[in-house]
Structure formats: structure tokens, C-alpha cells
Amino acid sequence: MKLRAVLLSCACACSIFLCGCSENFSGENLLHPPKTTGKEAQIEELIDRTTGGSYMLKYPQSGQYRSAIVTEDINNDKKDEAIAFYRTEGDEPSTHMLVMYDNGRQWKISCDYSSPYSDVDCIKLSDYDYDGIPEIFVGFVTQTGGVNELNIFDVSKNGRKVFRVDFSTTYSAFTTGDYDQDAGSEILTLSLGSTEAQAKATLIDYDKKKLYTLSSCSMDGSVTKFENVISGLLDESTMGVVIDGLSDNTYNTQVLYYNSDRKRLVNFPYTTSKKSNPTIRTYLINSDDIDDDGFVEIPVISDMNSDTSTEEGTVAPVINWSTLNLKSNRLKEGIRCVTNFEYGYYFNLPSNFIGTTVAILSKDNKELKIYALNGKQKGSLVMTLRVFDVGASSDKTLSYSTLESYNQYTYTYKIEENSPIYIDSNTLKENFALINFSA
């Protein structure tokens, strides 16, 4: 099975959304919608009439939906509803949210909500009240760094009325899922620590027509940014949330789940014989369900067990993609990969390579050579992975076979004829994948 591309988060990359920068309303940035046809044109005409024709579209900064105008069949009537965010000159810094529906003849407004904040963090659809129609979750960016305000909107069955739920809370990140296994979605908010408040996770549930706090627990106060939040199975019967966070120049992973027996939210306590949290790493690589089995794997970075001299380069880091054992509070090692972070690929080590090989990255990181181990020393060469610039001369690439080409690079391989450890071309190709970079 070929593994999916893992996600490497570039925490230092610049965001295209310039949060915190002042916005100057002028003839240049008060945008009229582009000329379109059909449904899109009708939606834009309704926004144009509502605003008086002079407005700035606002784009959610994170999450699944990144458009200023989101169209989705929310109430399952086979017709899309539309959600739009914009600002007008007279109302700054407020951000408006319009929810619109199609009555068969024209688009109409079902909700016109004005937020006091100038930016939208994210929008999410999730059904927490068991009525089969998702609620609209909207996060607005507050003036306090790392703090957003969550608002929820209930949609009627015909989609023609949308009401703001009498509930709001602040968060640094949030997600939804059935964490207590009651067939309905709960809301999990995550808050970074500050001088005024402790880092905390809060699980919010629904009962008797209201939302309430089911449980909460403390989190790592050294984390300054949540880079990745993913829900998934932790074991055969437990749904949880895996959070990768940035702390100064290191990354770590926290795991939250609801303990049904103890009726409380739990922050999973890692234990090993060597250190308290083996997920601490300098490589900003995210947890993910890398093999599509429904279970979230957590990357644990280690060096290959070798005393090999590094004159020709450095020993490549190994990612041990690990799963949890909730009974023993330990991580269980799974798939192992050697990784070239600079050129964005990883190679899943076949079972006969584990403990018997060492991988060396060249000083320019373009070449990764895997050798058989002779004790703890480098032995005979098994295979080479080589990155070439697109358009490299054929005399350099002639002895290599192509794996993939991406951007300005061609990724190639060569298997030694007299390799002491067996691998064929099909196995090599199945175990090679590019890293999916995310800003």
C-alpha cells in the first residue's frame, strides 16, 4: 500500500492573510464582485444591493472553507445555501455575515449578522443538536493575539431562517466530533496559556436545548501556537483529538479524549523509559492518518542506530509513526520512514530494512544512500535516492530511474545489482512519497 503524503507545516512561512495590519478603505480596495453568470451572479447581485455596491469581501483565514462566499447544501434540500463575509466603509471594523437561500425564483437573505471584529478565522458546519441539519460555526478574530470568538447559527429545515444561538466562547483552535459516543457532535475548544489564564481544553455538549460544558482539562502552557488539530480513532473504540503545537523552536503533540468511565476529558500522559514526552521534535511535521486506517499516527523522530562516520553527510532522521495504547499510556511504534526534509520526501522502510540498514544524506541533501549495517558500521550500498534539477544533463541521470517530478526537481532511484539486502523497483516505488508542504 502506498502511504499518503505526510503534512509538513512550515510554521515560519508568511501568511497571505495579513492579520493585524490596518486596512485602508479606498476606491482601490472597495471591491465590486467580478462579473459572473448563473447562481454566482445572483448571489453577488444580492450582496451588491444589500451593501449599496461598495464593500470589501473577507476571506476565512483557516479551515476547510477559505472563500468569502461559501455555497453548500446545508439543509439537504438539494439546493445550495450561501454564506458571505464582507466589510463596508461606514461599518468598519465590523464584519458582516450574510446567509442566503434560493427560493426557486431568486436569492433571499435568511440572516444578516454584524460582528464587531474585522477578520474571520474560520467557518465550519457540524450538527450538535441531532436534527440532521448542521449548524454554522463561525470564528471571528479578536483584538487579542491567539484568541478568537466562536459564534453558532441554527438553520431552519427549509433554510429560510437562520438564528444566532445564545452561546459564544473564545478559543485559539476548535474542532467538533462525537467524542463521548452519543451519536451527536460535541465542540472541543483549545485555549493557549497566557499570564492571565492557564492553557485549557473544554468539551462542550448539548442537552435539553442548550449547550453546556461537559468537561475540561489543562494543556501544555508552553505551546504558543496550535499548528495542527486532527480528530480520529485512538484505539478501536475511542475517538480523540491529536494536537501538534509549537513551543519556541520545538514541536510536540498532545492527545485529548473523553474517558467515559471517569466522565471527564483527559490529556493523554505519555510515558517511556527515556523521557516524559517522546513526541518533542525540532522537525515541524504533523500527526496524520498516513495509511488511511482510521487511526491517527503520531511522528516520533529518532536517529538510526549506527556509529557510521558522517564525513560524506549526516545520518537521516527516522520517523516512527506511532499509535496509542490507552491502557498502558504508551506509544506503540508502527511504520518507520527515513526523511529528506529539505527536498520534501520520505521513504518507508520495508521490514527487512529495519535494524539492518543506515541511511546517509549527502552534504547538499540531494542524495540519500541506504547501506547495510555491519554491526553498527556502514556496510555495502543497497540503494540510492537522488534529486536532480529539472533539465539536468542526461549523462548525470542516465544510471537513475525516475520516481516523480515536482516543481523544479526530478526524484530518481538506483538499486545496486549486488545489494546485500533485497528490494525491487515496485517495492521501492510503493514506499516513496513526497511531503505535502503547508504554509
List the pLDDT tens digit at each of the 439 positions of the chain: 556 666 555 443 332 222 333 333 333 344 444 445 567 889 999 999 998 888 889 999 999 999 989 999 999 999 999 999 999 887 778 999 999 999 888 999 999 999 999 999 999 999 999 889 999 999 999 999 999 999 999 999 998 999 999 999 999 999 999 998 887 899 999 999 988 889 999 999 999 889 999 999 999 999 999 999 999 999 888 999 999 999 988 999 999 999 988 999 999 887 654 557 889 998 888 999 988 888 999 999 887 665 555 577 888 888 999 998 888 888 888 899 998 989 999 999 999 999 899 999 999 999 999 999 988 788 999 999 999 998 776 666 789 999 999 889 999 999 999 999 999 999 999 999 998 655 4
Q: Which of 255, 266, 267, 279 is nearest to 333 (CA)?
A: 279
**Rounded to 5 degrees, what are φ and ψ at 45?**
-65, -40
Single-letter amino acid code for the residue at 406: Y
Burial class (CB in 10 A: 0-12, 13-18, 19+), 97: buried
Q: How many residues does the chain have?
A: 439
**Cα dihedral 218, 220, 225, 228 in deg (nearest 10):** -80
Dist. CA 119–CA 31, nearest whole Å: 16
pTM of the model: 0.82
Whole-number pLDDT of residue 23:
38
User: How many CA atoms within 13 Å lie on the side-chain side of 124?
Assistant: 22
- CA-based nearest residue to 410, from 400, 422, 423: 400
Question: Contact 349/378 with Cβ under 8 angstroms?
Answer: no
In this prediction, residue 310 carries a pLDDT of 58
The Cα–Cα gap between 278 and 271 comes to 8
Q: Give the cell for residue 113.
A: 449578522
The pLDDT, as a whole number, for residue 308 is: 57
Query: Do 120 and 85 contact (CB within 8 A), yes or no?
Result: yes
C-alpha closest to that of 10 among 345, 284, 286? 284
Gap between the Cα atoms of 49 and 37, Å rounded:
17
**Cβ count near 138 (within 10 Å):** 24
For position 325, what pLDDT does the model report? 87
Domain boundaries, the chain: 297-439
Long-range contacts of 348-357 (CB under 8 A, 24+ apart): 348/3, 348/431, 348/432, 348/433, 349/318, 349/431, 350/423, 350/427, 350/431, 352/421, 352/422, 352/423, 353/382, 353/421, 353/423, 355/305, 356/421, 357/304, 357/382, 357/421
The C-alpha atoms of residue 439 and residue 349 are separated, in whole angstroms, by: 28
CA dist 234 and 256 (Å) reads 10
| pLDDT the model gives residue 277 | 82
Question: If you average pLDDT over every residue of the chain, what do you get?
Answer: 86
Instruction: Give the tens place of pLDDT for each residue, 201-247.
Output: 999 999 988 999 999 999 999 999 999 999 999 988 899 999 999 99
